[in-house]
Amino acid sequence: MKTVSLFSGCGGMDIGASSAGAEVIYASDILNEAAATYREQFPEVDFVHGDIKKIDSWPAADLIVGGYPCQSFSMGGRRKPEDDRRTQLYNDFARAVDTVNPKFFVAENVSGLKSVQGGHWLREQLDLFSGLGKLGGYNLSYSLLKAEDYGVPQKRRRLFIVGVRRDQGAFYDFPRPTHAKATDASRLGLLPFASHGDAIAHLPKWPSGEFYERPHDPEGHWSWYYMSRNRKARWDDPGFTVVANWRHTTLHPASPIMTMTWSNLADGFKQRWDFQHGEYEHLLGHEDRMHLEEPRRLSWREAAAIQTFPADFVPSGTTERKFEQVGNAVPPRLAEAVLKSLVSGSGLTDRRAESHPASKTTDEIPVLF
């Protein structure tokens, strides 16, 4: 399946697409470091480094994929899309779909797209996407997926919109989860959630230069803001969401535990969490696991492993830019899960998604168009 990739970043979506059986023939992104990384990962792909607003032609393709910028919809951001010029970049994704007229497209964005301003921006995009192309528009399905449900060792929620050109006579059904909480997995016939501690256990214990440190700050490594919440996920659980800001990256699961020492949420102030040095929950019954005497943030290499990038993946740029690329990426394993049944055709049906059991196993919204 010939595939055009837009807003490609360092290639997370495209690694997943390739694993699903698609052939990426064209990609583009505006960021310098992401462009360098992508070209290193996919030397055979025609990559265009530049502003998508200045691109007006793309090769013929069966599929277009892309995660247009999401900062204006992110629950961790200002959530004022009307004040952010990046908000309108979905129009350029739509322009490419309208021009190329592929059989299918897959768009990815943050969960906030569904909730910010009552879902206004999501409805606007659905209205636009449904009428694209030259053969009667697209049948749309969309779903809020949890990455951990598909074997990603990370709690990450992302919204996917899948379009199937109407002349194909089908709708897309999102894949059923393959993983669940350990207490429920056996009963449901699924695998237990992947451990983020196990995913990074083979990496160096203290990879100096690969994570954020504050050696010259009077507050030490840990700002008051960082200590305002629990930053340590349990070793055996999926990790917290991998973010694009290296200062806010969460803790290595071999760090000492954090406990809340005070809370003053009543007047809008945050909590205070502190390290309990010498105390480790992950060593109970597993004394052979590594432990860190001093806590540290995850390294970029560990963040990439938790995102399910391949072991030989090395992004370009400074350590800060490496984190930015890794955190902004679609987890390859999640992308593969979404795209595999689309590429093979097993996820296509001539019935509306709400009539399928699969739609009841995710936070899926029924097909609207």
pLDDT in tens, 134-152: 889 999 999 999 999 999 9
Report the distance separating Cα 315 and Cα 58, nearest Å: 26
- The β-bridge partners of 48 are 28
Q: Is 276 helix (H, G, I), strand (E, B) or coil?
A: coil
Q: In this structure, are strands 191-192 and 171-172 parallel, antiparallel, or unpaired?
A: unpaired
Per-residue model confidence (pLDDT) at position 19? 98
Q: List, in sequence order, the alpha helices (H) in the chain.
A: 12-19, 32-41, 90-100, 112-115, 120-130, 182-188, 196-200, 300-306, 319-328, 332-344
Report the distance separating Cα 281 and Cα 273, nearest Å: 16
- Kindly report, residue by residue over 214-254, the tens digit of the pLDDT: 877 666 789 889 999 999 999 999 999 999 999 999 999 99
**Matching residue, tokens 């695998």:** 191
| Residue that wins the pLDDT comparison between 217 and 178 | 178
Domain segments of the chain: what residues? Answer: 2-180+330-365
Strand ranges (DSSP E) for 166-283? 171-172, 179-180, 191-192, 258-262, 272-275
Instruction: Please state the rounded mean pLDDT for residues 165-177.
Output: 97
Q: 354 falls in which pLDDT band (50, 70, 90)? A: very low
Report the distance separating Cα 271 and Cα 269, nearest Å: 7
The Cα angle at residue 139 between residues 133 and 142, in degrees rounded to 5: 115
Mean residue pLDDT of the chain comes to 90
- Kindly report, residue by residue over 81-128, the tens digit of the pLDDT: 555 455 689 999 999 999 999 999 999 998 777 655 566 879 999 999
**What predicted TM-score, i.e. pTM, was given to this entire model?**
0.91
Instruction: Please state the rounded mean pLDDT for residues 153-180.
Output: 97
Q: Is the pLDDT of residue 187 over 60?
A: yes
Strand ranges (DSSP E) for the chain? 2-6, 23-29, 46-49, 63-66, 104-110, 138-146, 157-165, 171-172, 179-180, 191-192, 258-262, 272-275, 348-349, 363-365
- HSE, CB side, 13 Å, CA atoms: give it for residue 188: 16
The catalytic position among 4, 31, 48, 70 is 70
Active site residue 70: yes
* Topology classification of domain 2-180+330-365: Rossmann fold (3.40.50)
> Percent of the chain beyond pLDDT 70?
87
- Kindly report, residue by residue over 256-269, the tens digit of the pLDDT: 999 999 998 877 66
Q: Which range among 39-48, 54-63, 207-216, 290-299 shows the weakest confidence by mean pLDDT?
A: 207-216
Q: 36 falls in which pLDDT band (50, 70, 90)? A: very high
Instruction: Please state the rounded mean pLDDT for residues 30-58.
Output: 97
